[in-house]
Amino acid sequence: MRVLKKIFRKIPLFGPLADCPMSAHWNAVREMVTILTLSTVPLWLGSLLQFFVNHGTTWVEYETAFVSTVSGGELFLYCTSLLAPICWIALIDPPGARKFPSKLAHILLLFIINVIAAGVFGLQKGGQTLNYRVPLVFSYWLFAVSVVLLYLGTVYHNNRVPDFAGVFASEEDDYLERFRKEDNDE
């Protein structure tokens, strides 16, 4: 198992996951569900309302409503906005925090995704005639990669920031123990 962890640690971007406890993953999952659910309300709720208004009854009709909601390049905007906090998290090391792992890989991928997303979105909104399916499918893939990067950045951030509540509780316990000893000595 140690050998596998050692090999896994060498994989760019994903390697630091070997040093992250399950609590960092669990907290990241909770954050991601909240972020994605609330931030994508215009997409899934808009599609659902469109589905209801058009008296949809099948999954294909909901999929059609969703495609019409995101076919204007909206997912490209979501890619850039989801990754913006990761840029800050990766570049700034808060007091008491360890260095952000895979900083260069995160920033490089974030930059590439943002440039591509902004470029394709700009072409779409600028009136360029593009193949309808290519930007749509590409936006799905870019969005999925953005979600993975957001997850990784959140896990790494959760792992590198000390548990201040635990530190304070430990210091409080130490203080109370010293106080009890002094009280018993008198």
Instruction: Provide the residue-wise pLDDT of the chain in tens; the chain has 186 residues.
Output: 688 888 888 888 898 898 889 989 999 999 999 999 999 999 988 888 888 888 777 878 888 888 888 888 899 999 999 998 898 889 988 888 888 988 899 999 999 999 999 999 998 888 777 787 888 899 999 999 999 999 999 999 988 887 655 555 566 666 667 767 766 666
Q: What is the dihedral of CA 114, 116, 119, 123, to 10 degrees?
A: -130
Question: What is the pTM for the complete model shown?
Answer: 0.79
Choose among 17, 59, 7, 15: nearest CA to 155: 17
Place of tokens 């019409």: 68
